Chain A
Amino acid sequence: MGLDVLDLTRLQFAVVTIYHYLFVPMSISLAAATAALQTAWLRTGDDSYRRLTMLVGKLLMVTFAVGVVTGLVQEFQFGLGWSAFARFYGDVFGPTLAIEGMLAFFLEATFLGLWYFGWDRLPRLAHLATIWTVALGTLLSAFVILAGNSFMQNPVAYDLDPKTGRAHLTSFRELLLNKVNLAAFPHTTAGAVMIGGALLLSIGAWRAWGRPVTGESLDETLAFARLARIGAWMTVAGGGLTALTGDRLGKIITQVQPMKMASAEALYHTTTGAPFSVFALGAVGGGKPPFFSIEVPRLLSILAVGRPGATVQGIDNLQAQYVARYGPGRYIPMVPVAFWTFRAMIGAGMLALALAATYLWLTRKGRGLDLTSGPIRRLLRAIWLIPVLPAAANTIGWVFTETARQPWIAFGISKVADGISPGLTSAEVLTSLLAFAALYGLLAVIWLRLVLYLVRQPLTPAPSRTPGASSPAAESRATPDVVPTY
Chain B
Amino acid sequence: MDLVTVWFALVVLCWVLFFGLEGFDFGVGLLAVLLGRDDHERGAVVATVGPFWDGNEVWLVAAIGVTFAAFPDWYATLLSALYLPMVLLLLLLAGRGVALEFRGKGSGPRWRRRCDLALAGCSAGIVLVWGAMLSVFVRGLPLEANGSVLAGPGALGGLNRTLGPVFSRPAGLGALLALFAALVLGSTFLGLRTTGPIRLRARRLTVALAGGGTGVAVGTAAGAELVGASGPLLVIAVAAGLTLAAITLAAWTRSEALAFAVAILAVAAAVVAVFTANFAGAIGGSGSVLLASTLNPAWSLTLTGAAASASALRLISLAGVIILPGVLVYQGFSYWVFRRRIASERVA
Contacts and interface: CB of A to CB of B under 8 A. Distances in A.
Interface string A56-83: 0010011011101111110110111101
Given A86-B72, A423-B151, A121 B337 contact: yes
A439 B91 contact: yes
Contact of A106 (B86, B151, B331, B340): B331
A105 B65 CA distance: 11
Contacts of A71: 61
A421 interface: yes
Given A80-B80, A486-B50, A102 B62 contact: yes
A432 B83 CA distance: 9
Nearest to B345: A480
Interface size class of B (residues with CB under 8 A): 35 or more
Size bracket of the A interface: 35 or more
Interface in B220-255: none
B84 A432 contact: yes
A87 B68 CA distance: 9
Nearest to B339: A477
A294 interface: no
Contacts of B25: none
B75 to A, nearest CB: 5
Give 6 nearest A-B pairs by CB, closest first.
A90-B72, A79-B79, A425-B158, A427-B158, A94-B69, A98-B65
A97 to B, nearest CB: 5
A97 B69 contact: yes
B327 to A, nearest CB: 5
Interface string B160-200: 01100000000000000000000000000000001110000
A135 B152 CA distance: 48
B340 A68 contact: no
Nearest to B318: A172
Contact of A432 (B61, B81, B87, B106): B87
A348 B323 CA distance: 40
Contact of A483 (B53, B101, B106, B343): B343
Given A79-B80, A110-B331, A443 B50 contact: no
Given A93-B68, A101-B62, A483-B40, A423 B106 contact: no
Contact of A424 (B83, B334, B339): B83
Interface stretch (B207-215, B266-274, B284-292, B306-314): B306-314
30 contacts: A62-B105, A69-B94, A75-B61, A75-B64, A80-B86, A83-B76, A94-B70, A101-B61, A102-B320, A102-B323, A102-B327, A107-B330, A109-B54, A112-B54, A113-B53, A168-B309, A169-B315, A172-B319, A421-B80, A422-B148, A423-B150, A425-B155, A431-B87, A453-B106, A475-B340, A479-B340, A480-B195, A482-B343, A483-B43, A484-B104
Contacts of A70: 94
A284 B41 CA distance: 64
Contact of B343 (A91, A99, A481): A481
Contacts of B320: 102
B331 A423 contact: no
Contacts of B132: none
A54 B40 CA distance: 23
B75 A94 contact: yes
Nearest to B146: A422
Given A94-B69, A102-B62, A424 B54 contact: no
